[in-house]
Structure 1
Amino acid sequence: MLFRLTRPALKTIVAWNDVACVRARQYHPPAAFKQPTMDDLPVPQGSWQAAYDAKQRKYNIQLISGILVFAFTVGFVAKSDMIDFNFSRPELPTE
C-alpha cells in the first residue's frame, strides 16, 4: 500500500535525476504557419444602418414585451391580493 502511494513521487525524482531524459521545449510555429495580417480579417458587407435598424427593432420588441409581461404580472398579483403593496398605512387593531 505504501509503495502505491510513493511510486509516483519516486518516478518523478528518478526522472529529474536522469541525465539522458532532458526535456527540451521547442517554441517554433509549424512548418505551414502563415503570419496573420489585416487582409485575413472579414470584410464588412451591406449597409450598417440596415443591420443596426434590424437589431434595434428586435431589441425594442423584446423590451416592450418584457414591460407588458411585468405589468400584467404586477396587475394580476395586485388584483388577486396575493401581496399587500402597503400603499397606505395599515389600520390599527381595535382593542
Structure 2
Amino acid sequence: MHIRKLLTTPAIRSCVRRNYSDHYSGHHVAQTTYNDLPQPQGSWKTNYDANQRKYTAHLVLGIGALTGTIIFGKAMGFLEFYHDFPERPADNLSYK
C-alpha cells in the first residue's frame, strides 16, 4: 500500500501541477474578433460550379448503379415486381 502511494503520488502531483500551470497561469490571452476569421478570396461561382459538377457526377453515377442493379437483378431472376397479374381471378369451385 505504501509503495503504491509513494510511486503514484509524485506522478499525480506533477501532472496536476503541470496542468494547473499550463492553463491557469493568469497570463492574458488576446480576445478573438471577427477580423481573425478567414476572409473569402476568389470567385465563389467558380468553386460553386466545380462542386456542382462533382455532385451531379455522383448523382448520375448513383442512378446508373441503381438502374444497372435493377436490370441485372430482374434478368437473373433475383427480383420479381409482381406486375403480371391475371386478367380475371381463377374460378375455384371448391370455395363455393
Give the TM-score normalised by the residue count of structure 1. Answer: 0.61
More helix by share: 2
- Structure 2 vs 1, CA of residues 89 and 29 (structure 1 numbering), >3 Å: closer, same or farther? farther
- 2:78 corresponds to 1:69: no
**Partner of residue 33, structure 1:** 29
State, as a whole percentage, how many aligned pairs show the same letter.
36
Instruction: Report the aligned-residue RMSD.
Output: 2.5
For structure 1, which runs of at least 5 residues remain unmatched after alignment? 1-27
Shift of 1:30: 4.6
Q: TM-score, normalised by structure 2?
A: 0.61
Shift of 1:87: 1.0
What is the distance in 1 between the residues matched to 2:26 and 2:60? 53
Q: Deviations over 1:11-36 (max 9, x none)?
A: xxxxxxxxxxxxxxxxx785141101
Which 4+ stretches in 1 moved above 6 angstroms? Answer: none
Q: Which 5+ residue runs of structure 2 have no aligned equivalent?
A: 1-23
Aligned residues: 67
